[in-house]
Amino acid sequence: MRRVTVTLPDEIVDEIDRREVNRSRFVTEAARRELQWRRYQELQRSISNPHPEGGRVAEMGVEDWGHELSSDDESLIDPAAGRAVRWEPDTGWKDLAE
Residue 94 sits at φ, ψ, to 5 deg, of -125, 135
pLDDT in tens, 32-51: 999 999 999 999 988 888 77
Q: Report the alpha-carbon distance of residue 25 to residue 62 in Å, rounded.
A: 43
In this predicted structure, what is the pLDDT of residue 34? 97
Supply the Cα-derived Rg of the chain in whole angstroms. 24
Query: Would you kindly state where each structural domain of the chain is located, as residue ranges?
Result: 1-65
- What CA dihedral angle connects 66, 70, 75 and 79, to 10 degrees? 20
For residue 72, pLDDT beyond 70: no
Q: Report the alpha-carbon distance of residue 63 to residue 69 in Å, rounded.
A: 10
